[in-house]
Amino acid sequence: MSRNDSFNLCNYFLGESRLSSIGNETAIAYRGDRLSYLDLRRLVDDWAARLIESGVSAGDGVALLLYDSPIFIAAFLAGAAIGAVSLPVNTALSADEIQFIIADSGARLIICEAELQAKLAGLKRGAGEAPAVCLVDGRRWSRDEILERDESSEYAQTTSDSPAFMLYTSGSTGTPKGALHRQGAPRDTALTYGAKVLQLTKADRAYSSSRLFFAYGLGNSLTFPLAAGATVILDCERPTPERIARIFAEQQPTVFFGVPAVYRALLDFDANQELDTSSLRLCVSAGEALPARIFEEWRDRFNLEILDGIGSTEMLHIFIANRPNEARPGSSGRLVDGYRARLLDESGREVLADSGNLWVSGASAFMGYWNRADLTAATIQDGWVKTGDLYRRDDDGYYYHVGRSDDCFKVSGLWVSPIEVESVLAAHPAVVEAAVVSAIGADGLATARAFVVIRTVGDADKIIAELKDFARMRLPRYKAPSEICIVQGLPRTATGKVQRFKLRDLGVSTTTEEKA
């Protein structure tokens, strides 16, 4: 589809032609309220008018420091409607991180949950004046607050290629970067992953434990359900296993989106309290590679596959995915129709029989990093986007995650994939999860250091010795970790990705380390 066609994202979801057929269908279920698609359009029009009244015009940034509620969806689409650039911000970030993102983006207005306003104290807009702040209370919002405007705001004359929103990377390797996306990008993901893999219908009820301010959550809770005329179940509370179980029981979603750590937590929850998954027809995972063990336990426990896939902030959503009844444990699946992928070695040559750096191409690719021209040039080359992931591809076209390109390391001159070692350790019944990084051993040589979370507390030295023997029986000696540290939890981004760069800075306690 032409990049220069007349296109507005808000109109794509809520235009008159669509509303004539789905206007009375339920768009959002929230805290006992039901919003039809007509209600949502009225709410969007109200927020579009508010943005204009606040001095926001086409091209201006509008930061959304909001919980998952109808306000988020309405403000996001209102920004698109008037040609502004929406800037979803992770509410769980620290004040310093939030202020960095807002200052870096140059936002003109911040729509902020009232209880989070302390995180904005002292904020300046880059080197200039502080942005205006509009306070809301998403937890107490109800449909009674929808205002009927006498006239709808006039939509901006945008195209598919007009800037619409910016998503900041989760920072799994350091400072967040703003990935700028076009008006047409969500449509592109709806026509590819949404239509080809999820195949939602108006009868579906989608629920995502990943929030709307993530690229993954934005697709799960906005793009895909709205494009299908389905219902999205929104919840502003923290998605604990108890909370998710309650939503499963009371709201009866048909499609659930989570990350591997959430599926692990739900399995552990079900061991003590029954988890009702009877309404689910589809379970999806992304964020990081889904361990085969979690896939198999979930399938055996609930007779449901988890469709793992890989996406990125830069590509907006999933571009390699498993399909229903075709999922393979430990695999990210096959290429989604509409995308291309290739594996390259360090010299830029295509790899056919080994692992390589994954590059991907597709219509949903971002426009570039905000104010990071050098990084943009290194990441986007001739229409291809470097993901930073190492993958291998089998003869059937299934892709298997080997690790991040900056996570793999050499021991004895040979490459070690953290993912491979972690999978072996996670197969031990005492291990909940594991992460592996490079380290320098007592002998001054490179080695693999593992951090593990275990199920029960016991003799640390005994458990470590057992784990090391377990790994050595299943891995070449150079890949088996010579140092193991038992920890209470792994540092993760809000999207669930392990922050290995933080683990590399940790020392190993003498009470939890056994030298090789």
**DSSP class per residue in 81-117:** HHT-EEEE--TTS-HHHHHHHHHHHT-SEEEEEGGGG
Residue 147 has pLDDT above 90, yes or no: no
Residue 51 has pLDDT above 50, yes or no: yes
Is 452 inside a domain boundary? yes
Q: The domain spanning residue 77 has which CATH number?
A: 3.40.50.980
Q: Which of 106, 123, 157 is the last residue of a domain?
A: 157
Say if residues 277 and 303 touch (Cβ distance below 8 Å).
no
Residue 322 has pLDDT above 90, yes or no: yes
Residue 164 has pLDDT above 90, yes or no: yes
Q: Which of 157, 191, 215 is the last residue of a domain?
A: 157
Is 316 inside a domain boundary? no
Is 121 inside a domain boundary? yes
pLDDT at 35: 97
Q: Which of 157, 187, 220 is the last residue of a domain?
A: 157
Residue that has been written with the tokens 């940034």 in this structure: 61
pLDDT at 80: 98
Q: Is 64 helix (H, G, I), strand (E, B) or coil?
A: strand
Lowest-pLDDT range of 17-31, 121-135, 412-426: 121-135
pLDDT in tens, 171-180: 544 578 999 9
Is 79 inside a domain boundary? yes
Residue that has been written with the tokens 């470097």 in this structure: 386
pLDDT at 338: 97
Show the domain range for 73.
Answer: 7-17+33-157
Is 168 inside a domain boundary? no
pLDDT in tens, 59-75: 999 999 999 999 999 99
Q: What single DSSP character describes residue 159?
A: B
Q: How many domains does the chain have?
A: 2
Confidence of residue 145 (pLDDT cuts 50, 70, 90): confident
**What proportion of the chain, given as a percentage, has pLDDT over 90?**
72
